[in-house]
């Protein structure tokens, strides 16, 4: 085994995606993933708490990015503009190679209740980070609603981006979905 090769986390991710697609999430063991990645099981568990976490390895970075970007928006910025700043930062963290990973991970997640639960937790963590940062600008209830709308726009944009192979800009897709959701809400709020 070539334990000294770089990018253990990336190799584990690709090995996990391949094995989950080939034999299913439940039938795949951590040992199989480590072996496919040419690593030891000990190395896998140094990197991740369990096999499920391999697919969600970007959560901490996403949460930190969302929080920092919203908090870093200009003090006088409208809360929706601060939210846009946070969503733009989340989108800018993605590189084109993540499209294929996103497609594959989405298909695998759809087959496993355990992964769906974990995906919901990630989504909730991003929304909570946005809400906490926005609560410095508006009432926490309003911050929570804006964060939920922003998170929904982010995930819609990411899903659309992952399905394309062109040079579509993820941030633009997320902004379009955010603007559409806000526009759809306006008539409901004036009734």
Give the model confidence (pLDDT) of 121-158 as tens digits.
Answer: 999 999 999 999 999 999 999 999 999 999 999 999 99
Predicted pLDDT of residue 6: 76
Does one domain contain both 42 and 113? no
Q: What is the CATH number of the domain that holds 141?
A: 1.10.357.10
70 with 111, same domain: the answer is: yes
**How many distinct structural domains can be found in the chain?**
2
1 neighbors 31 (Cβ within 8 angstroms): no
**Residue 5: is its pLDDT beyond 70?**
no
Query: Both 30 and 66 in a single domain?
Result: no
- 2: confidence class by pLDDT, cuts 50, 70, 90: very low
Q: Are 30 and 112 in the same domain?
A: no
Which domain, by its residues, includes 16?
8-54
Assigned domain for 74 exists = yes
Task: Please give the full DSSP string across 6-43, using - where no structure is assigned.
Answer: S-HHHHHHHHHHHHHHHH-TTT--HHHHHHHTT--HHH
Structure confidence at residue 164 (pLDDT): 87
Same domain flag for 29 and 105: no
Average pLDDT over residues 91-107: 90
**pTM listed for this prediction:** 0.90
């Amino acid at each position: 085994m070539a334990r000294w090769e770089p990018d253990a986390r990336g190799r584990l991710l690709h090995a996990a995606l391949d094995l989950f697609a080939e034999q299913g999430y439940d039938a795949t063991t951590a040992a199989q993933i480590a072996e496919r990645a040419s690593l030891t099981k000990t190395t896998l568990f140094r990197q991740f708490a369990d096999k499920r976490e391999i697919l969600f390895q970007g959560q901490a970075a996403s949460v930190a990015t969302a929080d920092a970007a919203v908090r870093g928006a200009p003090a006088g910025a409208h809360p929706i503009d601060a939210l846009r700043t946070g969503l733009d930062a989340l989108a800018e963290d993605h590189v084109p190679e993540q499209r294929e990973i996103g497609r594959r991970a989405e298909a695998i997640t759809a087959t496993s209740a355990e992964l769906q639960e974990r995906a919901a937790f990630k989504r909730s963590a991003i929304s909570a980070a946005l809400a906490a940062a926005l609560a410095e600008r508006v009432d926490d209830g309003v911050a929570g609603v804006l964060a939920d709308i922003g998170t929904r726009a982010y995930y819609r944009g990411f899903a659309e981006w992952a399905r394309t192979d062109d040079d579509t800009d993820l941030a633009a897709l997320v902004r379009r979905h955010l603007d559409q959701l806000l526009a759809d809400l306006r008539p409901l709020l004036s009734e």
